[in-house]
């Protein structure tokens, strides 16, 4: 089996992005909702995202700036309020994920644009998307500047909503009931319905 070698020191940022976003697969999608200081809602998906720990329970979002250097609305809102909700979208929400990714101004409500019903969270004021199988209510824990164009936001999970039929008596979650989608390269997504188990040795 042959491989191509890439020295990241010799690649420009766009080529590094293409390699990483095309090779680290599938990436979970965080459909993040926030409010600004005036209470205007915002929703946007991010696939540079992951869970980091359970004690304390924290998730991380890697969010870049706009090409002109402006903060994205999600970052600006989290900085203002210290709150956000991470939703795990299922296959039924795939189109809404694409709609909320549209490059619109901060005055546009992406939740209304995508036709997503919502209500305030329990422990945060950010809107919770009612059809999402998973919603993690988060308070900003810390930020880690990576470069002039990207930072990592770490959120402490204060509460979770999980689709009821997906949660067993021992709190094991049935991934088939979550039906999460994953991000691939470009506009491509995948389903997590194709499950298999590997016997332990």
The band of 90, judged by pLDDT with boundaries at 50, 70 and 90, is very high
The structure tokens listed for 158 are 């204060």
Q: How many domains does the chain have?
A: 1
pLDDT of residue 68: 84
Phi first, then psi: give them for residue 159, nearest 5 degrees.
Answer: -165, 160
Name the residue range of residue 17's domain: 10-191
- Residue 81 placed within a domain: yes
- Residue 5 placed within a domain: no
Chain centroid to CA 95: how far? Answer: 15
The structure tokens listed for 68 are 């002109």
- Residue 200 placed within a domain: no
Q: Which CATH number does the domain housing residue 168 bear? A: 2.30.110.10
- Residue 90 placed within a domain: yes
pLDDT of residue 104: 85
What is the value of pTM for the model shown?
0.94
- Residue 80 placed within a domain: yes
Q: What is the mean pLDDT of residues 69-81?
A: 92
Phi first, then psi: give them for residue 148, nearest 5 degrees.
Answer: -70, -10
Residue 201 reports pLDDT greater than 80: no
- Residue 144 placed within a domain: yes
- Residue 45 placed within a domain: yes
pLDDT digits (tens, 9 = 90+) for 126-173: 999 999 999 999 999 999 999 888 999 999 999 999 999 999 999 999
pLDDT digits (tens, 9 = 90+) for 24-33: 999 999 999 9
Whether cis (ω within 30° of 0) applies to the bond prior to 56 is yes
């Amino acid at each position: 089996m042959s491989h191509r070698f890439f020295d990241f020191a010799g690649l420009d940022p766009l080529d590094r992005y293409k390699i990483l976003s095309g090779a680290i697969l599938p990436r979970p999608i965080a459909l993040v909702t926030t409010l600004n200081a005036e209470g205007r809602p915002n929703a946007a998906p991010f696939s540079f995202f992951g869970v980091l720990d359970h004690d304390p329970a924290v998730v991380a979002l890697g969010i870049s700036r706009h090409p002109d250097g402006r903060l994205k609305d999600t970052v600006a809102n989290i900085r203002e309020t210290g709150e956000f909700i991470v939703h795990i979208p299922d296959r039924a929400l795939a189109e809404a994920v694409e709609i909320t990714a549209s490059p619109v101004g901060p005055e546009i409500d992406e939740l209304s644009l995508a036709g997503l019903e919502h209500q305030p969270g329990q422990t945060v004021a950010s809107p919770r998307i009612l059809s999402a199988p998973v919603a993690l209510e988060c308070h900003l824990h810390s930020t880690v500047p990576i470069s002039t164009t990207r930072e990592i936001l770490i959120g402490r999970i204060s509460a979770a909503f999980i689709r009821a039929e997906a949660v067993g008596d021992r709190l094991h979650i049935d991934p088939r009931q979550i039906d999460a989608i994953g991000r691939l390269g470009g506009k491509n997504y995948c389903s997590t319905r194709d499950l298999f188990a590997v016997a332990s040795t």
